[in-house]
Amino acid sequence: MSLIKSSANRLVADIGGTNTRLALFDPVANEFRWLSSYVNRDYGRPEDIIHTWLDAMQEPQPEACCLAVAAPPFDDQVTMLNIDWSFSCREVSERFELSTLRCINDFEANAYALPYLSNHELTNLQSGKRNVASKLATIGAGTGLGGATLSRAGGATIASTSEPGHMSLAPATDIELEVFRYLLQKYGDIYAELLLSGPGLQRLYQSLADIQDQDLPLLPPEVISAQALAGHCELCTRTLDTFCALLGSISGDYVLANGAYGGLYLAGGFLSDIAPFLQRSTFVRRFQSKGKMRDHLADVPLYLINSPITGLLGAAHAPL
């Protein structure tokens, strides 16, 4: 590990449940260097990954650091849900002799990244009427369903994380009514990420199969989406179409609840992978279908984020 320190550059990390990405962000050159990805199960804790990365980096060690972590709200002690990791931000700062360290939620990082995404990193789903002064929002499906907003106040940007995955979900079609009746018997409560997540896609597939009396094996989410994209499985296509419709509904609710009329950005590798299907689905129609607010939601720009390093971009630009 280098003993020489740099006050200009920033160590940035995107610590997920499965993988961790680290990079050195140079604000002068506006570029990432030494971008590396690690599989979490190969390490006992995130500090081990940071140590490995610093040993490999052939530049002065940065004094500033921002960690984007897939974890529920925290102060100093960060406890992750999808991997058995817990760490203290203060202890990480002391161990690596950092002058400045900030830990933020992964969707806070996504929100801070929004103003810095280029056109080629975005797929337009609805042009709307862009208003740079309005609040922005991001929502994304993965292991769960996360979200955050980005607002501006006094020249500063402020990201606020939230839990759209635990908002209530409502059916809008006959088949959705059948699915909800079926799931209510098993779970007693229908919340968004019960269906709008990787495990949720599997749950939706199995529910539709059971409703139609089809005795089928449970498929992994990536197989369901791949079969639907290729048009090789009618049930997979119906599953993904229902998923996109429900995602449109909860996305419209999320924008209305937060007043984020400046634009909604869909994040996450899974949604990026199904982009062609999402574009031709009922996602936009269901996003707009909110009674008297339909015209207002038709004016909200909708984008799909294609960048694989949105978390790092947000960690690079989050205020320290």
What's the token pair of residue 89? 């931000």
The span from the CA of 49 to the CA of 65, in Å, is 14
User: Does residue 153 fall inside a structural domain?
Assistant: yes
The span from the CA of 142 to the CA of 268, in Å, is 7
Pair 277, 176 in one domain: yes
* E strand or H helix that includes residue 198: helix 198-211
User: Does residue 105 fall inside a structural domain?
Assistant: no
**Is 308's pLDDT higher than 50?**
yes
Inter-residue contact 135 to 150 (CB < 8 Å): yes
Which residue range is the domain that position 226 belongs to? 118-306
Pair 77, 134 in one domain: no
User: Does residue 256 fall inside a structural domain?
Assistant: yes
- pLDDT band at residue 136 under the 50/70/90 scheme: very high
Specify burial of residue 88 (Cβ count, 10 A radius: 0-12, 13-18, 19+).
middle
Instruction: Specify the pLDDT at position 6.
Output: 53
Pair 193, 85 in one domain: no
Boundary-marking domain end, from 48, 66, 98: 98
Region 261-275: what's the mean pLDDT?
A: 93
Domain count, the chain: 2
Q: To the nearest whole number, what is the mean pLDDT of the chain?
A: 93
Pair 66, 181 in one domain: no
Residue type for position 115: P
Residues 119, 124, 129, 131: is their CA dihedral positive or negative? negative
Closest CA to 72 of 105, 112, 109: 105
Give pTM, 2 decimals.
0.91
Inter-residue contact 208 to 182 (CB < 8 Å): no
Pair 246, 150 in one domain: yes
Instruction: Specify the pLDDT at position 142.
Output: 85
Pair 84, 158 in one domain: no
Specify burial of residue 195 (Cβ count, 10 A radius: 0-12, 13-18, 19+).
buried
Pair 124, 84 in one domain: no
Pair 92, 160 in one domain: no
Q: Where are the beta strands (DSSP E) in the chain?
A: 5-15, 19-26, 31-39, 61-69, 77-79, 86-88, 100-105, 122-126, 136-141, 145-153, 156-162, 263-267, 302-305
Inter-residue contact 264 to 138 (CB < 8 Å): yes
The CATH number for 200's domain is 3.40.367.20
User: Does residue 109 fall inside a structural domain?
Assistant: no
- pLDDT band at residue 132 under the 50/70/90 scheme: low
Pair 289, 206 in one domain: yes
The span from the CA of 303 to the CA of 296, in Å, is 16
Residues 6+ apart with CB under 8 A from 121: 305, 306, 307
**Is 1's pLDDT higher than 50?**
no
> pLDDT tens digits, residue range 5-29?
556 899 999 998 889 999 999 999 9
Instruction: Specify the pLDDT at position 78.
Output: 94
User: Does residue 106 fall inside a structural domain?
Assistant: no
Instruction: Specify the pLDDT at position 8.
Output: 84
Region 36-60: what's the mean pLDDT?
A: 95
User: Does residue 315 fall inside a structural domain?
Assistant: no
